[in-house]
Chain A
């Protein structure tokens, strides 16, 4: 087994601020993901990475940057927070084979004032 940790659990920011979310996994998985979950909607993929220093854009990458400095960690940066934005950001990891199960972290809840 393994675990995914996300920091911080809650993030309150100001409009226009650059905000960074961090994710660590000890599954020894190659692939890591960042998803955004808005109330009443499904998850939308922001970025994913199939190995250290690799980055792949998802469907919602505009307004975000990501960084995979090492296999176990994956960071997401909101480049300019939007006023009244409220969402949960979920990190996940998996192997690289087809149909490998993705395991999710507890999430970071973002509120922009």
Chain B
């Protein structure tokens, strides 16, 4: 079984601050990990993904994420945050084991509000 936990349903911070959105996962092997963003009234947009190799991956819109096998986490970071980053962010996992390819398991999401 595989699962993704985003423990913070809501995060609020001031523009210019550093943001870090938490994501932890449960999977029996090394997974593929993704971050997506959903702006109000819009669909999901891909931000970045971890496949293998360098544990810090950079994505679009100035975001990056760090894969930490030691504590099964894949936290999303950006500094500084801008009010336009206000959105809902989803962490997702794809298993590497046979039969799991292409099937994403999503966390419940974190709604981020960046105040001007």
A45 and B107 contact, CB distance less than 8 A: no
- Using C-beta atoms within 8 Å of the partner chain, give the interface range for chain A: 20 to 34
- Nearest A residue to B34 by beta-carbon distance? A101
User: How many A-B pairs with Cβ below 8 Å?
Assistant: 56
Give Cα A100–Cα B9 distance, bound, in whole angstroms: 27
Stretch at the interface among B11-19, B39-47, B61-69, B71-79: B39-47
Residue A106 at the B interface, CB < 8 A? yes
Give Cα A33–Cα B109 distance, bound, in whole angstroms: 19
Stretch at the interface among A62-70, A78-86, A90-98: A90-98
On chain B, the number of residues with a Cβ less than 8 Å from chain A's Cβ atoms is: 23
Residues in chain B near residue A43, CB distance under 8 A: 44, 90, 104, 106
Residues in chain B near residue A42, CB distance under 8 A: 4, 90, 106-109
CB-defined A-B contacts under 8 Å, sample of 11: A33-B102, A48-B102, A58-B103, A92-B44, A97-B101, A99-B51, A99-B94, A103-B46, A104-B43, A104-B45, A106-B43
